[in-house]
Amino acid sequence: MLLVNTIRDQFDRVLAGLEKRNFPEAKSILTQVIALDDQRKASQTQRDQLQAESNSISKEIGQLMRLGKKEEAEIIKSKTTELKLQVKELEDKNATAEEELKALLYTIPNIPHFSVPAGKSAEDNEVVFEHGVIPDLGENKVPHWELIKSYDIIDFDLGVKIAGAGFPVYKGKGARLQRALINFFLDEALAAGFMEVQPPILVNEDSGFGTGQLPDKEGQMYHDAADNLYLIPTAEVPITNLYRDVILSEEDLPIKNVGYTPCFRREAGSWGAHVRGLNRLHQFDKVEIVQITHPDHSYRALEEMSSYVQGLLKKLELPYRVLRLCGGDMGFTSALTYDMEVYSAAQERWLEVSSVSNFETYQSNRLKLRFKDGDKKTQLAHTLNGSALALPRIVASILENNQSPDGIHMPKVLHSYLGFDKI
Mean pLDDT value across the chain = 94
Same fold flag, 4-105 and 122-418 = no
The response to whether 300 counts as a known ligand-binding position is no
Query: What length does the chain have?
Result: 423
The response to whether 81 counts as a known ligand-binding position is no
Q: Which residues pair with 259 in a beta bridge?
A: 288
CATH superfamily of 122-418: Bira Bifunctional Protein; Domain 2 (3.30.930.10)
Query: Are the CB atoms for 402 and 410 separated by under 8 Å?
Result: yes
Strands 195-196 and 255-264: parallel
Instruction: Report which DSSP code applies to 423.
Output: -
pLDDT in tens, 321-353: 999 999 999 999 999 999 999 999 999 999 999
Is the pTM of the predicted complex or chain greater than 0.85? Answer: yes
**pLDDT recorded at residue 91:** 87
**pLDDT recorded at residue 72:** 75
Query: How far from 155 is each of 89, 142, 144, 158, 286, CA to CA, in Å?
Result: 62, 17, 12, 6, 19
The response to whether 56 counts as a known ligand-binding position is no
Radius of gyration of the CA atoms of the chain, in A: 27
**pLDDT recorded at residue 270:** 54
The response to whether 265 counts as a known ligand-binding position is yes
The response to whether 267 counts as a known ligand-binding position is yes
Q: What is the DSSP string of 290-312?
A: EEEE-GGGHHHHHHHHHHHHHHH
Query: Are the CB atoms for 194 and 289 separated by under 8 Å?
Result: yes
Strands 126-131 and 336-344: unpaired
Residue spans of the domains in the chain: they are 4-105, 122-418
Query: Are the CB atoms for 181 and 391 separated by under 8 Å?
Result: yes
For the domain bounded by 4-105, which CATH number is listed? 1.10.287
Buried b / exposed e over 47-62, threshold 16 CB at 10 Å, is beebbeebeeeeeebe
The response to whether 355 counts as a known ligand-binding position is yes
**pLDDT recorded at residue 294:** 98
The response to whether 244 counts as a known ligand-binding position is no
**pLDDT recorded at residue 67:** 82
CA distance 264 to 231: 6
Displacement of CA 166 from its chain's centroid (Å): 22
The response to whether 266 counts as a known ligand-binding position is yes
The response to whether 383 counts as a known ligand-binding position is no
Query: Are the CB atoms for 232 and 261 separated by under 8 Å?
Result: yes
**pLDDT recorded at residue 341:** 98
The response to whether 183 counts as a known ligand-binding position is no
Average pLDDT by consecutive 10-residue portion of the chain (423 residues)? 96 96 94 94 88 83 80 75 85 89 95 96 97 92 96 97 97 98 98 98 97 90 96 98 97 98 83 78 97 98 98 98 97 97 96 98 98 93 98 98 96 98 97
